[in-house]
């Protein structure tokens, strides 16, 4: 199989999830620490990047990347790319992989949605419970027209750029769901679903595999709210993936999330951009990009347009430019 790396950032001592990922012999596990991480962090079969290691790595990002931020993961991505990774798997220290954890192939015939449906609630194809992913537009939560009907799914050839695996027990939902329902969810087992061009769904950074051609899209915006970070990344990625012939796929739950403690009201406050901006983000990115550009060029154009819309700041553009400089150096 292609050389694959798993990347996590953590401020805790090695968790059950970290220990289990470390034991997967087909993957190289990279853990990026932060200023709050234990100074004696150590785990067998793990490349641990301390703050000092990160600053000594020579990446331009270190000039501007904040500390005590989820975006420290990006130093882990760059380390994995420098090491020759062909696939990078994004996950968290509270997502425990099931036995047999893996992702489907990146090319083949898959169960595929209709095209051009806009936002769809993919969770409804994996559970009958009323649940929706973090970042899903609030005005669609009760709109069943934006659920994918099984009879409309077809078998199509596709080139998958990103696979999103679901998470059981405490899946990636927004604070509104957790405040008003919070039922524990175990998703149904079923074949993967691939979204055709023009059909999209928010995806996160918790159980997510990205192929080398799309590594620039791993950029995690560091100057937006914490709960918007990976959702914005996923929204930006989808029109760019379409422009370059790649698709987003969703697979059944292959991890169980034993979630670190959260304050749901604080999560809600951090998620407000997720509620307000999804449609604006997709519109801005779609009008800014072109199939004639590279993935990196399209990412830069997308963020420039988001800055015009005041969805991201000038600081974000400065950090993105450092990321793209690092990516260009590593992928020559």
Q: Which residues pair with 154 in a beta bridge?
A: 112
Residue-wise pLDDT for 206-261, tens only, equals: 999 999 999 999 999 999 999 999 999 999 999 999 999 999 999 999 999 987 77
Residue-wise pLDDT for 24-75, tens only, equals: 999 999 999 999 999 999 999 999 999 999 999 999 999 899 999 999 999 9
Tokens, residue 250:
């969703």
- pLDDT level of residue 262 (50, 70, 90 thresholds): confident
What count of Cα atoms within 13 Å lies in the side-chain half-sphere of residue 153?
A: 16
Q: Say whether pLDDT at 186 is over 80.
A: yes
Rounded to whole angstroms, the Cα distance separating 8 from 46 reads 10
Structure-derived torsion over alpha carbons of residues 330, 244, 193, 129, reported in degrees to the nearest 10: 80
Sign of torsion over alpha carbons 257, 207, 140, 222: positive
Rounded to whole angstroms, the Cα distance separating 43 from 46 reads 6
Q: What is the mean pLDDT of the chain?
A: 96
285, 306 Cβ separation under 8 angstroms: yes
Tokens, residue 144:
């069943």
What integer is the mean pLDDT of 127-133?
96
Q: Say whether pLDDT at 1 is over 50.
A: no
Rounded to whole angstroms, the Cα distance separating 278 from 69 reads 23
Give the end-to-end CA distance of the chain in Å, rounded to a whole number: 23
**Of the candidates 38, 33, 12, which has an alpha carbon nearest to the alpha carbon of residue 76?**
33
Residue 261 pLDDT: 74
């Amino acid at each position: 199989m292609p050389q694959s790396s798993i990347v996590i950032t953590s401020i805790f001592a090695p968790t059950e999830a970290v220990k289990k990922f470390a034991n997967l012999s087909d993957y190289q596990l990279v853990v990026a620490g932060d200023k709050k991480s234990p100074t004696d962090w150590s785990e067998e079969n793990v490349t641990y990047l301390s703050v000092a290691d990160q600053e000594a790595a020579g990446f331009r990002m270190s000039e501007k990347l904040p500390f005590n931020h989820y975006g420290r993961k990006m130093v882990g991505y760059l380390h994995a790319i420098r090491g020759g990774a062909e696939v990078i798997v994004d996950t968290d220290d509270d997502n425990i992989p099931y036995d047999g954890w893996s992702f489907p192939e990146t090319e083949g015939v898959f169960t595929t949605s209709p095209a051009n449906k806009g936002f769809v609630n993919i969770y409804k194809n994996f559970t009958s419970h009323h649940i929706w992913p973090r970042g899903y537009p609030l005005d669609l939560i009760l709109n069943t027209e934006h659920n994918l009907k099984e009879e409309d799914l077809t078998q199509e050839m596709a080139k998958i750029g990103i696979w999103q695996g679901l998470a059981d027990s405490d899946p990636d939902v927004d604070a509104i769901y957790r405040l008003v329902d919070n039922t524990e969810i175990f998703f149904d087992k079923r074949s993967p679903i691939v979204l055709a061009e023009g059909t999209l769904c928010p995806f996160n950074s918790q159980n997510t595999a990205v192929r080398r051609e799309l590594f620039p899209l791993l950029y995690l915006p560091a100057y937006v709210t914490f709960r918007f970070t990976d959702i914005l990344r996923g929204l930006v990625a989808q029109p760019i993936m379409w422009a370059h012939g790649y698709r987003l796929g969703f697979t059944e739950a292959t991890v169980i999330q034993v979630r670190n403690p959260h304050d749901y009201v604080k999560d809600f406050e951090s998620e407000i951009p997720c509620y307000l901006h999804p449609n604006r983000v997709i519109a801005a990115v779609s009008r800014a990009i072109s199939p004639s550009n590279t993935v990196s060029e399209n990412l830069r154009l997308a963020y420039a347009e988001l800055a015009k819309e005041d969805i991201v700041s000038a600081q974000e553009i400065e950090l993105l430019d450092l990321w793209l400089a690092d990516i260009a150096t590593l992928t020559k």
